[in-house]
Structure 1
Amino acid sequence: MSAPQMPANETQRIHVLHSLGLLHSAPDERFDRLTRLAKRLFNVPVAKVTLVDTDAVYALSCAGQSSAPVPRELSFCSHTIVNDGMLVVPDTRTDPRFCDNPYVTSAPYIRFYAGYPLAVPGGARLGALCLVDFDPRNFGDEDVALLRDLATMVEQEVAAVQMATVDELTLLLNRRGFEASAPQALQLCTRMSKPASLLFFDLNHFKQINDTFGHAEGDRALKVFAETLRKVLRSSDLPARLGGDEFVALLIDSNRDETALVVERLRTAINERNEVDRRGYDIRFSVGQVELPPDARGAIADLLARGDAEMYKNKQATRTTTNH
């Protein structure tokens, strides 16, 4: 049995997956309708929409079989998300990747699998629309085209969910997306005994930018800050726009000193962008920093409140310094 490869964008993929809030959601008729349709059109005993998480693969929707999680290393869909296009296995017993898989050699005795990777805008592949049969079968070009069309319909439904968790202007997570994704990131830190840090940002004099230069220029300032924040942070970190001119970033495996260096790099990068753009105003920010030990517990709302309070202290200190 071959172990599935790890996607090159695995960290970003997991962040996107968790931000959607679909992993442990209640049954959703939008997806159930499509798995029932796939099961009927292909006359297979099982059709699923799966989501590939860090260690397990979950069924977002399943028609015809138990929807219990499957270990990632044993899942066919773990191979599908790194496959270019559709993965078709006409007879699992003759495929060296799967012939000794426990789901092939023992119950439920899978003999056929076809799966199409499900991607969201940005390219992250979250899982698959898949068909399972307990007898070998052929899968022709028309079958491939039909399953691809159904997978596109699933992707459209997932994209609709994603739009509710992503800020349309900056393309960062919004508050809802952050509050859904941050707990999993903190659980990972706890499991790996790693610290984390929260940075809570507020743009200084943002109302003045809107009033003087117009809301379109204010939107531009927000996008510039978001782009710079994304460039400075590591791919494992979790940035978001909470609303208005407030941003937040959860830094994974980052202690106080490392986080302070990130803030300084961000200030330098913003200053450099100010020099290049020369808009008639400078983008400035205040920031609150909250340190989280590996065993940190508590609600995300409480963590954000602490970050907001620390940011306000920083803003007040900056004003005092400026006045003197």
Structure 2
Amino acid sequence: MDIPAISDNEETRIASLRALNILDTPCEERFDRITRFASQLFDVPIALLSLVERETLCFKSSIGPNICDTSRAVSLCGHAILGSGIMIVPDARIDARFEDNPLVLGDPYIRFYAGCPLFAKDGSAIGTLCLIDQRPRILSAIDLDVFHDLALLAEREILQAEPNILDEKSNTCNRKGFLLLAEKGLNLCARRDIPASLVFIELENVNDAGVDLGDEESDRILLQFSESLKIDLEHSALVARIGVDQFVVLLIGVSTVGAELAVTKFKAAIESLHIRENWQHRLPFNYGVAEFKASKHSTVDKLVTDADIAMYDNKKQKRYAARKELI
């Protein structure tokens, strides 16, 4: 097993990393947004945002394994930070550097690894965004371009003093973060001919129902609704709050029919959540679905607009049906 070499600028690198004041701090949703999206977009069970300390790796975000740190000596990320580009290991079992590595021979049984270095402002490599699979893999040039773009977003977020892509009230992406991430995802879908759909959700009659999205109880309900979107809406790769009462959800690998079915199941999950959590107010919602077409949706905003129009049409039909029942 090859132990990662120590970089020539190790002391400067460590100083730059520690100056960011993000070591030994809790995981943050703004980073989990990126790793979770990367995991689903590239269909890998493990995605990590690692920070390489002197002897250990600290995971600022970890999708997959329930670990907080590991030894730098056995890490693949320790090797990845020595280069300037993405390090690819298609099958670690037949790579002389890693074939007898304990992380290859044992849990998590690494086979495929892709790690893109993340850099501080002075150019020091401080960590990686990495993808790990338990089966051999290769990434195309298109995949690598999108993965590099996601790493740049993660790097930019690390260097921000305040969260830049997170809506803190709902713990989802804000509109800016959604547009940035969705653009990368849809670019990959277009190039690889992967279906994708967008669900536009508008909470119904929020103020009329007595729900003030500023009081403590309603904020709790809003947060639970948002978490349910991430967990219970099948195929949801990216969730964002783009207005006071508006959400969008990007579904990867799903056509309109699949998206409609996913929303139907989600409605049942929300009703169960309402009963289980004893919400004071229900949160009925209207929704619309738009299927991504590369020839039509040259920007993410255009896809959002089409889903918004579909939502508005559904709302009109719902109101018409309600009036008809009263006659």
Residue 126 of structure 1 deviates from its aligned partner by 4.5
8 Å Cα contact 1:12/1:235 also seen in 2: no
Which structure has the larger Rg? 1
User: d(CA) in 2 for partners of 1:173 and 1:313?
Assistant: 26
Paired residue secondary structure (2:202): strand
Post-superposition CA distance 1:13-65 (Å, at most 9, x none)? 16379xxxxxxxxxxxxxxxxxxxx9xxxxxxxxxxxxxxxxxxxxxxx9xx9
- SS, match of residue 97 in structure 2: coil
Superposed displacement of residue 295, structure 1:
5.5
Tell me how far apart the structure 2 counterparts of residues 281 and 310 of structure 1 sit (CA, whole Å): 26
Residues 76-108 of structure 1, C-alpha deviations (whole Å, 9 max, x = no match): xxx9xxxxxxxxxxxxxxx94179xxxxxxxxx
235-244 or 187-196: bigger deviation = 235-244
Preserved contact between residue 197 and residue 292 of structure 1 (Cα < 8 Å): yes
Which letter maps to 1:219? Answer: D
Deviates more, 1:231-240 or 1:282-291: 231-240
- 1:200 and 1:235, CA in 2 relative to 1: closer, same or farther beyond 3 A? closer
Ranges in structure 2 where 5+ consecutive residues have no aligned partner: 3-30, 40-52, 54-80, 100-114, 119-126, 131-153
How far apart are residue 201 of structure 1 and its match? 0.3
- Equivalent positions of 1:9-24 (< 5 A) are 13=35, 15=37
Tell me the distance in 2 between the aligned counterparts of 1:213 and 1:15: 27
Which residue number in structure 2 is paired with residue 127 of structure 1?
129
CA distance in 2, matches of 1:308, 1:258: 18
Q: Is the 8 A contact 2:206 2:212 kept in 1?
A: no
**1:169-210 superposed Cα distances (whole Å, 9 cap, x missing partner):** 121111011000001111221232111111000000112345
Shift in CA distance, 173/303, structure 1 to aligned 2, threshold 3 Å: same
Q: Report Cα offsets for 1:219-272 as digits up to 9, x if no partner.
A: 223112111111123466211111211000111110121111111011111111
Partner of 1:229: 229
Return closer, same or farther for 1:271/1:159 CA change in 2, 3 Å cut-off: farther
Identity of aligned residues (%): 30
Q: Deviations over 1:110-141 (max 9, x none)?
A: xxxxx9x97xxxxxx8439xxxxxxxxxxxxx
For 1:182-193, what aligned pairs fall within 5 Å after superposition?
182-193=182-193
The TM-score, its normalising length taken from structure 1, stands at 0.53
Determine if contact 2:212/2:218 at 8 Å carries over to the other structure: no
Distance 1:178 1:156 in 2: 15
- What is the Cα deviation at residue 297 of structure 1? 3.9
The 3-state SS of whatever aligns with 1:179 is helix
Question: Is 2:197 aligned against 1:197?
Answer: yes
**2:301 & 2:294 partners in 1: Cα distance?**
18
C-alpha displacement of 1:299: 1.1
Secondary structure of the equivalent of 1:307? Answer: helix
1:24-39 alignment to 2 at 5 Å? Answer: none
Residues 126 and 223 (structure 1), Cα distance of their counterparts in 2 relative to 1, 3 Å cut: farther
What do you get for the CA RMSD once the two structures are aligned? 4.5
Distance 1:203 1:297, change over 3 A: closer
Q: In the aligned structure 1, how far is the partner of 2:86 from the partner of 2:98?
A: 15
Map of 1:72 onto structure 2: 88
Counterpart check, 1:168 vs 2:168: yes
Q: TM-score normalized by structure 2? A: 0.53
Aligned equivalents of 1:307, 1:254: Cα separation in 2: 15
Relative distance call for 1:235 and 1:316 in structure 2 (3 A) is closer
Q: Does 1:266 align with 2:266?
A: yes
Q: Which has the higher helix share?
A: 1
Matches within 5 A, 1:44-63: none
Aligned ranges for residues 1-324 of structure 1 at < 5 Å?
A: 13=35, 15=37, 69-73=85-89, 96-97=96-97, 126-127=128-129, 158=158, 160=160, 163-209=163-209, 215-234=215-234, 237-293=237-293, 297-324=297-324
Q: 1:212 to 1:161 in 2, by over 3 A?
A: closer
What secondary structure, in the 3-state scheme, does the structure 1 residue paired with 2:247 have?
strand
Does structure 1 retain, via aligned residues, the 8 Å contact 2:210–2:281?
Answer: no
In structure 1, list runs of 5 or more residues that go unmatched: 3-8, 18-37, 39-61, 80-94, 100-114, 119-124, 129-153
Deviation of 1:216 (Å)? 2.2
Asked if the contact 2:172/2:241 (under 8 Å) is kept, the reply is yes
